[in-house]
Structure 1
């Protein structure tokens, strides 16, 4: 067997091993299942929405920013600050508010692979531009304090807070400030195990309970969806 044939043989052998491993890997099978369900949801509910690639993630974020009208700009789920810095640099003449405990999730991300402490920064806040104000703490504590000082309607809200409970807290507390032309960017809307029980569920409950009319503007190849309130 020539050197080239040996290389081809090894590649084929490795591929066969990986294929066999995936056949018995539940996480892989769940990903396939959830991807198919997400694709079906897209076909049935947002056939005209723009489709951006999963990477770079900023493609969908930049599109959402381009749709912003008058009002406040908020982000829930700041962590290392990559997205809020990006937003702040794009909107230098506007004040951006970021909310995060910087202590991880308030609970496990059920049905997914992340536990309560996986995202913790042990309380350390990231460096952000001067036009960013960070509100440190759990949403149920920081949102009421924010509302005492700021009363403007919401122009854009980046929801990168993962969980049903966290997303529901935002909608319950600030939903009355989401008016016509408010842009929502929901970072973990679909395409992962148990997606129908988290941010997707919180949004569906919000629109049903408040009879909100909306349109899906865009999505990316991973989990994110951009929505406009009508």
Structure 2
């Protein structure tokens, strides 16, 4: 009888221990889950705080950020220009794609000129795109940066290069455009088939257009790199171009543009008429 009682006690103790262990395991799992939930709640509080801060910043921008207001205004003005002058033109979302499209539209032989080389990135694209055609490629730049302040964030000296870039397949012409272009044209006769005008400034763009006046022929493609879509765009490359058109009577058509940047592609349809 005593053995039966002892066995019963042993089993009872085992059952109690097992129940205790199971309860501890369940409590441990519950505590772990609770800790996970608390951690997620803490992270959520941080995220909510960040979102609230960002919303406050955006609200502040919407009400008081002059820079943003100027950007929005410039974009609206550029959109009006597109609707009026090239509503059906192909549109690109990367400046280099716009440049490549302009190069793909070159159908005549002649000089390919870039004004504003800087590091040589776009000049390399020009060389690559025109490598199978009859084009001599030249890059013009002072290489000491902008000769004068252009717009907010782009002071005189911006884009200065420590040394001239190496661009295989192109010849560099260092110096101010007004000092180098006339002499260059005397030594290089014939039409200009392609122009990449990355001159930024009104004065620099005007200097180039005035000197190229009689080299621009039907079929010449011009890619303006900073034509519109920034505060004050009407006073720089755009102004130089429209004044040139009014003065010379040159025929042209707008071919394309970059939707979220500043590039516009133009093709000459008739040479200077006056």
TM-score normalised to structure 1 length:
0.93
* In 2: Cα distance, 1:59 partner to 1:33 partner: 25
What's the offset of the Cα at 1:7?
Answer: 4.3
**1:105 — aligned with what?**
146
**1:38 — aligned with what?**
78
What's the offset of the Cα at 1:18?
Answer: 2.1
Aligned-residue RMSD, C-alpha: 1.5
- 1:16-31 alignment runs, 5 A limit: 16-22=55-61, 23-31=63-71
**1:155 — aligned with what?**
193
Is 1:177 equivalent to 2:218 in the alignment? Answer: no
Secondary structure in structure 2 of the residue aligned to 1:208: helix
What's the offset of the Cα at 1:50?
Answer: 1.0
What's the offset of the Cα at 1:34?
Answer: 0.5
Contact 2:110 2:136 in 1 (8 A): no
What's the offset of the Cα at 1:219?
Answer: 0.1
* In 1: Cα distance, 2:213 partner to 2:152 partner: 27
- Higher RCO by CA contacts (8 Å cutoff, separation 6 or greater): 1
Task: Select which of 55, 80, 87 maps to 1:47.
Answer: 87
Contact 1:71 1:152 in 2 (8 A): yes
- 1:9-158 alignment runs, 5 A limit: 9-22=48-61, 23-53=63-93, 55=94, 57-69=95-107, 70-93=109-132, 94-109=135-150, 111-122=151-162, 124-129=163-168, 131-158=169-196
The structure with the largest helix share of the pair is: 2
- Give the number of equivalent residue pairs: 225
TM-score normalised to structure 2 length:
0.78
What's the offset of the Cα at 1:14?
Answer: 2.7
* In 1: Cα distance, 2:85 partner to 2:152 partner: 24
Larger Cα-atom Rg: 2
What's the offset of the Cα at 1:182?
Answer: 0.6
Deviations 1:137-174 (A, max 9, x none): 00011102211210110110000010000000001111
* In 1: Cα distance, 2:87 partner to 2:214 partner: 28
**1:226 — aligned with what?**
265
* In 2: Cα distance, 1:64 partner to 1:13 partner: 45
